[in-house]
Amino acid sequence: MADSGSKTPRKTTVEKKPAAGAAKKKKKQGFSAGKVIFWMLAAAALAAISAMGVYIFVILNGNKILQQNIDKLDFSEASIIYDANKQEIGVLKVENRINVEPNEIPPLMKQAFIATEDKRFEDHTGVDFLGIGRALVKDVVARSMVEGGSTITQQLAKNVFLNADKTFFRKATEMSIAVALEQQKTKDEILTMYLNYILFGNQAYGVKAASKVYFNVDKLEDLKLWQIATLAAIPKAPSRYNPLKDAEKSKERRGVVLKLMQEQGYITEAQRAEAAAVDYEPPTKTAGTAGRNQAFVDYVLKEAQTNFNLTEDEVNRGGLKIYTTLDQNAQQIMEQTYANAKFFQKSPDDQIMQSSMVILDNKDGGIVAMVGGRDYMRGGLNRATSAPRQPGSSFKPLIAYAPAIEAGKYTPYSMLKDEKQTYPGGYSPRNYDGVYRGQVTMTEAVKKSINMPAINTLQEIGVSNATKFVEKLGITLDAQDRNLAIALGGLTKGTTPLQMAQAYSAFANAGTLHTAHAITSIVESDGTELQFKDEAKTVMSAKTAWYMTEMMRTVVEPGGTGAAAKFERPVAGKTGSTQLDLKGLEKYNRDLWFVGYTPEWTGAVWMGFDKTDSKHYVSMSSGSAGVIFKEVMQKALAKRPVTQFKKPSGVPDLKEELPPKGVTDLKAEVNPETGFVNLSWSSVGDGITYQAFRKDSTMADYPAEPLFSTQSTSYKDQSAYTPGMTYTYMIVALKPENGAEGAKSNEASVTIPGKTENGKEEPGKEAGETGKEDPGKEGEDGAVPGTDGDGTAQPGTGTKPGAGGTTQPGTTKPGTGTTPGTETDGTTGGTEEDAGSAGGSGDTGTSSGTDTGGETGTKTPGSTTTRPSTGTAPVPSGTSGNGKQPAERSTGGQSGSSISVMPDGT
């Protein structure tokens, strides 16, 4: 017990110790909390003192910077542009600025800018800390400086500095100047300075200059609400939202401005809706002027922003040296040509015929010269780069022929189908001249710009493969452009001359594509040099590029659609036109194109009207664009040595791809003794393979697969035996080593003599002559070897009809698509039950080949028709009929005497 009692206090003591410890911990925690509160108060006091010090520093620093840089608010050094020879060609500077006084600015205009740019303008002292907080949140979420949070005063302060990158250091400096400005200027003065100094695009600084440029309005008080909102929409992104560059985007942004004004109580909902609905129409005469090189200079300004990440304001005020690719001689010749009215169609009113042109240097993609339009004004619509139009047939080489050759299945001499047809979906295009030639070489299709071969080629290679190919050339197609109409340039959005010239330059450069560009380098005011980085890439094989060049050289030769573009240098190219779809005017065009190249340069010309209607359409010759191409290129290259297109090493000579000549003397006749159709023709060369095709009078076209292939110049067709049926044959010669096909031969036709299904006797060679039975015993195998010494005819035996009633399988030549088949419906090759059928009743036999009536039996691939039930018995001889091309073989002896040769075109 004693032991047990002595242990209990120990346990109690042990249990109490934590309690004592806990009490001590509480005491310690109370001391720490007090210290924390103390230090928090101390830190707050220190922060307040520091903040006051920072604020005093910001104020002093802001005033100091403002005084040191106040002159910079009057803008600074211009940027100089140099051509390819480092000669000055233009200046980018602030030269269009008209100051206004506070009383000249209508209240509605002030409200529009305050609502859009700084709704708390009247409340803050230069810096809107709520706006900054909002911007910081967005920056943290985006993990980058994406939101400016600048007030109107800060934006004005920013004009002091050239560096507009969004960094906290620049932001702090901007804030200090903004605070200083608020101390020294009234709100009205700050807003007036802001509206006088900000950039509105097109080198228009200040709201008054902008009203002149965009609306040709001199007094701000004359501006309407929609015009004021349009101006207020621009400063956020002058190159994007100015209405001369993009009226649709400008209208969208205007709608945002009007909505903000309505929400903040400056206008009513009715006013907002009315102003938002107005469509912008450029003034007849803008405040801008068009000087020499103007379209090129404007493009340089755009490229400095897109390729070098500079703002328009930085370029205008940065004192930059911008080195470009311009050839001043070519530019001057191009501008002189466009100033000559004789090259253009007259217009019935003020809307003149427009045109644009661009030339690229093949070796590096540099822009040699550029014209954006006949009446191009500074900052206006550059039709060479920013106004896509339907390219018409000039798109065929890019979307159909080049990808076909690149796929390895075609050569310039490949025979292409040229027949009128309707494609899936009801697409029914036509050739421009209404002529369909049956088949043409790819070269002829390119030279004469024939439509159907291009569409058929695109269908063969696949739209998906073709669009992938053309997108490698820098032309992005719309999602809706996944149809056969693109073979003729029927695009949703169209292309620009710059895009077309860049794509074609790959043909001239052995398949290598250089990015089209105007700027080679920029030297900043501190000496820092920014270089353009050309990302050259191989977009097609040198072989494809060479073959395309060889084909397109024929376009400018006599008989080609681009003959007007030829001059005393090697030239290749392609014409294009798009048909007018206005009722009664379908023979005229919307657009004309010529895209061509020499070994040195590639040029693209577009002609048409900005707005096509019943008074404004193209009635000039389709070769007119080629005339301008020739005029400019011939003169611009006159002082340069003439060079030749050079075949890239390793590319086979095109002569090796030459197809064989076409057979022109095919003959067909029925052998009166055997009943076979004997075919014969003359040789067109050594080592040539001849493919024979056959159709009968029930077929609209030839089967896809040949009836036979042979290297002989004769053949016995044992499968053409239906009495009264007309068989038509055609031969295609080809080189087995490369698959190059010659033209289709003339067509030769025969009509098998004998009685037809209706019991009428088919006339034979001699009227009334009856057929005699095939040699051989009734019922025995009347096999005919099928070979005629050429090793290509059918090796199997054929069954001649007889009285014995045995069935003998017939064998056809392997590889021709013909297989034996037993017919079981009382027709050819089966048990004949029609006592009136030629050859007697009870005959049985087997035939193989194309059925041509309504029976079952073996069919040749590609044929969808069947033979009528007439039997295979001997038939009386008769005269032949007219027909066109080959059919298939089947066994079975026939007798008769008939000869018929149908030349092409009869």
pLDDT tens column, 484-503? 999 999 999 999 999 999 99
Sequence-distant (6+) residues with CB within 8 A of 23 are none
Domain assignment of residue 46, yes or no? no
DSSP 272-292: HHHHHTPPP---SS-S----T
| Spatial separation of the C-alpha atoms in residues 610 and 67, rounded to whole Å | 51
**pLDDT (0 to 100) of residue 582:** 93
Q: Which amino acid is residue 20, in one-letter code?
A: A
CATH number at residue 591: 3.40.710.10
639 three-class SS: coil
* 510, 547: one domain: yes
Of the residues 393, 719, 898, 900, which is catalytic?
393
Buried b (16+ CB within 10 A) or exposed e, 532-567: beeeeeebbbbbbbbbbbbbbbbbbeeebbbebbbb
* 402, 334: one domain: no
Q: Domain ends where: 441, 462, 491?
A: 491
Tally of domains in the chain = 4
Domain assignment of residue 577, yes or no? yes
* 478, 501: one domain: no
Domain assignment of residue 479, yes or no? yes
* 241, 317: one domain: no
Mean pLDDT value across the chain: 78
Domain assignment of residue 108, yes or no? yes
* 385, 421: one domain: no
Known catalytic residue at 117: yes
DSSP 216-273: --S-GGG--HHHHHHHHHSTT-HHHH-TTT-HHHHHHHHHHHHHHHHHTTSS-HHHHH
**pLDDT (0 to 100) of residue 61:** 63
* 121, 202: one domain: yes
If the chain, 906 residues long, is cut into consecutive pieces of 10 residues, what is the mean pLDDT of each piece?
42 43 46 74 76 61 64 66 93 76 94 92 81 60 54 79 50 77 87 89 87 91 96 91 90 96 96 96 61 90 94 86 97 96 93 97 97 89 95 98 95 92 93 92 96 97 97 95 96 96 98 97 94 94 97 97 97 96 93 98 97 95 96 97 95 83 94 91 94 94 92 92 92 85 91 65 38 36 35 36 36 38 36 34 35 36 33 33 32 31 29
Known catalytic residue at 393: yes
Residue 314, token pair as written in the block: 């930085």
CATH number at residue 680: 2.60.40.10
pLDDT tens column, 53-84? 665 665 566 666 666 666 555 555 778 999 99
Q: Domain ends where: 736, 751, 766?
A: 751
92 three-class SS: strand
Sequence-distant (6+) residues with CB within 8 A of 320 are 79, 80, 92, 304, 310, 522, 523, 524, 525
**pLDDT (0 to 100) of residue 469:** 98
Domain assignment of residue 16, yes or no? no
DSSP 170-214: HHHHHHHHHHHHHHHS-HHHHHHHHHHHSB-STTEESHHHHHHHH
* 695, 549: one domain: no
Residue 571, token pair as written in the block: 């030239």
| Spatial separation of the C-alpha atoms in residues 366 and 363, rounded to whole Å | 8
Residue 119, token pair as written in the block: 């709704």
Residue 289, token pair as written in the block: 């002027």
**pLDDT (0 to 100) of residue 844:** 34
Domain assignment of residue 194, yes or no? yes
Domain of 245? 94-277
Domain assignment of residue 511, yes or no? yes
* 707, 745: one domain: yes
Domain assignment of residue 249, yes or no? yes
Sequence-distant (6+) residues with CB within 8 A of 76 are 162, 317, 318, 319
**pLDDT (0 to 100) of residue 878:** 34
Of the residues 76, 79, 117, 762, which is catalytic?
117
**pLDDT (0 to 100) of residue 41:** 80
* 127, 271: one domain: yes
List phi, psi (to 5°) of 880. Answer: -85, 160
* 448, 531: one domain: no
What are the start-end ranges of the E strands in 735-800? Answer: 741-744, 748-751, 754-755, 761-762
Task: Supply the pTM of this predicted model.
Answer: 0.65
* 234, 257: one domain: yes
For tokens 């040195």, what's the residue? 600
| Spatial separation of the C-alpha atoms in residues 666 and 694, rounded to whole Å | 13
* 155, 133: one domain: yes
Q: Domain ends where: 751, 768, 793?
A: 751
Integer CA distances (angstroms), 29 to 3, 25, 34, in order: 40, 6, 9
Residue 811, token pair as written in the block: 């064998």
**pLDDT (0 to 100) of residue 704:** 87
